[in-house]
Amino acid sequence: MSNHLTYDRLRLLTDTKVAGGKADLDSIASAIHKYVNQHALNMLTNVTYSQGGDGGQLWGLLPGGRTKGQCAEFSYLMEMMNRLLGIPALQKHIRAASTVQGIEKQLSYEGHTQSGDARFETRSCAHHGKEHLMMTFGYTRTSEAQKAEGWYRYAINEGEGTCEVNGKLYAGALDTVGETSGGRTPAHNILLACEKNYAPNYARSKATGFTKFDRDRFMIWVTATDSQGNYGVCEIDEADQIKAAKAKGIVLGTSQTPPFPPVPR
């Protein structure tokens, strides 16, 4: 059965509708990326990329309608498809970071580490204690009262799943390729691409030369999840953070950043 599945998968990959006829790493990786993302229509997760076996659950993402996944699952599938062709590939998950250097530091090799733990940039909040930095793909305010009170329900994402091939990062479920350019790393360019696609304040931020931001942030500090898996969001501004820290006798280090850091550039 395993040999039969391998044959069928190789036949799929070498078909002209996927990567057949491509002769270099970038062309093959790009073709696989486009093919996989054609099937990324429903972002509800039924499988996880940490599932073992022959990866059958992840390969099941391709028929569509039977198995569903998110960027992590699609990027891990890309890794398996490239490896089946003998191409070195590795699934990586990009985390939000408040500094350019932090992007590379927070880059996880998930599914390939002994613990499988995700790494997040953390800080000590005077109000909530330990928090970590995550992405927010927009927000909703469902009533006029909530809008008047500044109430938000954030769509929080733990990061962007990608597959690295030949020094480039191919985003899962997002038609974006991160590569070294403009003095930025592939991971940095992926974050900028995600921001442009999802951050509500992108146009406004661009108009100010990315120097002024409001609370429609692309990245946000969150507290631990509750029993239902909901995130607590820090919306305390810097002045109140400092005031609360002094009242509690907490010394905020020089690395302490405002609750809503700008996207690193």
Mean pLDDT per 10-residue segment, the chain (265 residues): 78 95 96 90 61 64 73 89 94 84 76 58 80 78 58 75 95 91 86 75 58 56 69 74 81 56 45
Q: How far apart are CA 76 and CA 49, in angstroms?
A: 6
Q: Where are the domains of the chain?
A: 2-88, 93-160+189-247
Q: How far apart are CA 128 and CA 177, in angstroms?
A: 36
Contact 187, 170 (CB under 8 A): no
Phi and psi at residue 135, in whole multiples of 5°? Answer: -85, 155
Which pLDDT score is estimated for 255? 53
pTM passes above 0.75: yes
Q: How far apart are CA 129 and CA 38, in angstroms?
A: 42
* Residues linked to residue 135 through DSSP beta bridges, in sequence order: 157, 219
Which pLDDT score is estimated for 264? 43
